[in-house]
Chain A
Amino acid sequence: MIQAQELTKRYGSITALDKVSFDVAQGEIVGFLGPNGAGKTTAMRILTGYSPATEGTARIAGYDVAQDPIEVKRRVGYLPESVPLYGEMVVRHFLRYVSEIKGVPRHGLQAEADRVMSLCGLEHMGGRIIKNLSKGYRQRVGLAQSLIGNPPVLILDEPTVGLDPSQIIEIRQMIRELAHNHTVLLSTHILPEVSMLCQRVLIIHNGRLVAQDTMENLVGPEDGVVRLEVDARGPRDKVESLLSELDGVQRVKLDGAGPSFVVEAAADSDIQPRIAHAVVQAGYRLCGLRERARTLEDIFVDAISVDEGVQV
């Protein structure tokens, strides 16, 4: 449904997007993951026809974005990061207006506005002036405008940014329901959001696509590697060097700012009892030792550090 081939975008000497290629199949929810400034919004703007690519091609539903922008725009619902709304308009009138410019038949304008209001839980907000709505409701109105005309492809740029926790849950639930009938490309830098919503992830960093796979493949166990969370209390550098020197240990790193270490070792090295023994033998306290599944955070950090050539 979405095909991007070597998309490149340059602003003068700055390369915002560097030969990014990916496909999104019909009915998939794909997460576009990356830190701020990675190039997610740039890629989405190219796909929606807002801004042209410097090089490369993009096709949506078989139409080339550069050659047939109008056909592409008829088939895409786009929610930009900063939701563009006319504050002085009433919600219902705004949605009718969007229906008109989206090409909804004249006799169906009100029905379409009512349909998307119902989908987004805005039934009681139709008569409200947009600028008086809370941020959560404005986000819903933005989402509702992207659903006008029932486009097969939805491109959502940071749909939950700036919302409070309950609003985030509501919007995520809404996106999950929309995914039954739409192909969704969702950009975010909130990792749990991707885990919760997406079947596949594209990780973008410094304008380059550094990883893409299904959630199962990305989060699943790596061949022959076990990850352990070791909570050993003692001088950090000494504990770290003690763990690193054990046979079979491939990598030791601090787990954030906390006292725990993450140890990666060969799966067949029977490392757990040897870690326990070594820590206790060295006179340090062992407060926890458990196997840890690979999280999206790990994958993300790994992908970015590989891209930067940094060992984390």
Chain B
Amino acid sequence: MRSIWAVCKREFISYFTTPVGFVIVGVYALLSGLYFTGSFIIYARITQNPSSYGYDAIPEMEEWMLSPFLVLCGQLLMFIGPLVTMRLLSEERNKGTMELLLTHPLRDREIIFGKYLASLGTLLVLMLIVGFHLIIIGSFTPIEPVVLAFGLVTVFLMGAAFFSMGLFISALANNQVTAGTMTFGIALVSWILGLMGQDLPEAIPAPDTWPAGLVRAAEMVYAIFRELVVSLPLDAHAHELAEGIIYPHDIVYYLLFTSFFLFLTFRTLESRKWRA
């Protein structure tokens, strides 16, 4: 446990002894702040005169502003996250300091958890920014604090899951630019899939000329494809959680996602024993 803390502390401090940490926090604060301010002003106007914005009544704050804001905060993490995770293990390998870690009495899991916790530490700093915005919402609206707190937890879970994947990619890559680019690419694909998933129909009718067996197979393939596109993207599970509607499968999804990539990272680091 002490070793995990030592690795975590060094890694976390190293974010803020270079400009990287400040750039990450600054960009995140700027983008989330711009969106928040814009939507807050518009929502305030809607509440004064809903009909001029096409609403019969004042829309629910949770649905109109809170959930989209929290989902956006999660999505921003997917695009800023590579800056946090790309260096975690690839930089150690690139600079040769992995040799230092692996020749000291550290277990692989201590290195991995230490690194991951450091990235979560940075995530917590970013959550302070989200939390600040939620306090503003809480002080101007009657939304239950527990809903706001759960919204914050949702963004954290989303970030934690995404960072675990970034850590895994960092374990695979030999330099941080490659790791960052790969992580960013996956984030982009995930985001595009998420957008696609919103518009995909339940089923696509097969041509009449196809035999029944082929139609069934095509329907099954489409159903699997649709399920993957709809369910796999990280942000797909955030919408309802962010409104305070809790489905256990959404939370389980994030926990499983995180565990799966931490496990893969562990196996990747361990693979040096049989690959080298």
Chain A residues in the interface with B (C-beta under 8 A): 11, 48-52, 70-71, 73-74, 76, 78, 80, 82, 84-89, 97-98, 100-103, 106, 145
Contacts and interface: CB of A to CB of B under 8 A. Distances in A.
Contacts of A85: 97, 100
Interface string B101-119: 1111111000000000000
A171 B95 CA distance: 23
Interface string B246-276: 0000000000000000000000000011101
Contacts of B96: 80, 82, 84
Given A78-B103, A80-B100, 5 more contacts: A50-B99, A50-B102, A101-B3, A101-B6, A101-B104
Contacts of A76: 103
A86 B10 contact: yes
Interface residues of B, number: 25
A103 B274 CA distance: 27
A84 B95 contact: yes
A53 B57 CA distance: 73
Given A84-B97, A103-B105, A97 B10 contact: yes
A52 B276 contact: yes
B198 interface: no
Given A50-B99, A51-B276, A80-B96, A88 B14 contact: yes
B18 A100 contact: no
Which among B3, B7, B276 has the greatest number of chain A C-beta atoms within 10 A? B276
Contacts of A50: 99, 102-103
Given A88-B17, A97-B6, A80 B99 contact: yes
Ranked 10 nearest A-B pairs via Cβ: A100-B6, A84-B100, A73-B105, A84-B97, A84-B96, A48-B103, A78-B103, A70-B105, A101-B104, A51-B276
Given A51-B272, A97-B6, A103-B105, A86 B99 contact: no
Contacts of B274: 52
B105 A102 contact: yes
Nearest to B106: A101
Contacts of A101: 3, 6-7, 101, 104-106
A102 B101 CA distance: 10
Nearest to A155: B103
Contacts of B106: 73, 101
A49 B103 contact: yes
